[in-house]
Chains A and B, each alone.
Chain A
């Protein structure tokens, strides 16, 4: 296997694994956050605007770790510097 094949295989496999693992953690964390928010809303319905706003801010912070994994996957598939370098070398030959 030459280096082009190795780079291609590694990028594709790791991009898939990154998205796969990267969405599991935030999903579990967001589930727990929403569950706690719902139970505290049931206990104190008149604080609902504060609870809802804090819930959204917390969800956005948790979501951003999933977004990091997604961005890395996209870079590996579409804007991969190693692949571009190898392709330009192969095209130049």
Chain B
């Protein structure tokens, strides 16, 4: 029973290995990049526009609105990173319907890489918004005693992001694999549908959590004003 697509090796030579995770990741990247290039070749701003451009606009505006709802003020600065997270994990989950495909997010390497991107992006955006001193001050925010706890919470929520996505994707793939040996006719299709649903929910959760962490790092602390004396 294969635990992850890392163990399906297509080609290896000395210490270089081309496994299914790498192949499917690059395949997804190719699909996303080529698709966007082809669709955005002739952009139009008047009422008559191509169907695919409309489709992309729906997606981009929806992501922008969600990022704005989370509390980030100028979503255009963050939509590159957060939108890419959502689109990559979402496409990786939807393509389960293609036979012979295994989602690369079912491998711990991919999910740890994505979580490390978030781990690096949070201080990056925090320092860009608030300067180095302002961002570091947020670590000692209620009192100095909270400093080790804030650092531990940073590390543990990165780990939680990685394991959550890995566990959801791997469990979907494994359940379908096990069911195919037991009841191969209708039930695996039902479980694949459930896997599609959880895959899209996990993509949404990953990007929303990344947005919440970035919002927490870039939010300028509001100064508490003294309450006005009632006359």
Contacts and interface: CB of A to CB of B under 8 A. Distances in A.
B166 interface: yes
Contacts of A49: 69
A87 interface: no
B84 interface: no
A71 interface: yes
A33 to B, nearest CB: 14
A80 B147 CA distance: 36
Contacts of B174: 74
Given A64-B160, A68-B163, A71-B163, A53 B208 contact: yes
Interface residues of A, number: 16
Instruction: Count chain A CB atoms within 10 A of each CB in B167, B209, B212 and give the residue with the most.
Output: B167
Interface stretch (B49-57, B97-105, B136-144, B198-206): B198-206
A63 B212 CA distance: 18
B211 to A, nearest CB: 10
A70 interface: yes
Nearest to A60: B205
Contacts of B202: 60
Interface residues of B, number: 20
A83 B153 CA distance: 33
B112 to A, nearest CB: 13
A40 B79 CA distance: 31
Interface in B1-60: 1, 3
Nearest to A79: B3
Given A53-B208, A70-B171, 4 more contacts: A50-B69, A57-B205, A64-B160, A78-B1
B89 interface: no
Interface in B185-208: 201-202, 204-205, 208
Contacts of A8: none
24 contacts: A53-B69, A53-B208, A56-B201, A56-B205, A57-B205, A57-B208, A57-B209, A57-B212, A60-B164, A60-B205, A60-B209, A61-B160, A63-B168, A64-B160, A64-B163, A64-B164, A67-B163, A67-B167, A68-B167, A70-B171, A71-B163, A71-B166, A74-B3, A78-B1
Interface in A51-67: 53, 56-57, 60-61, 63-64, 67
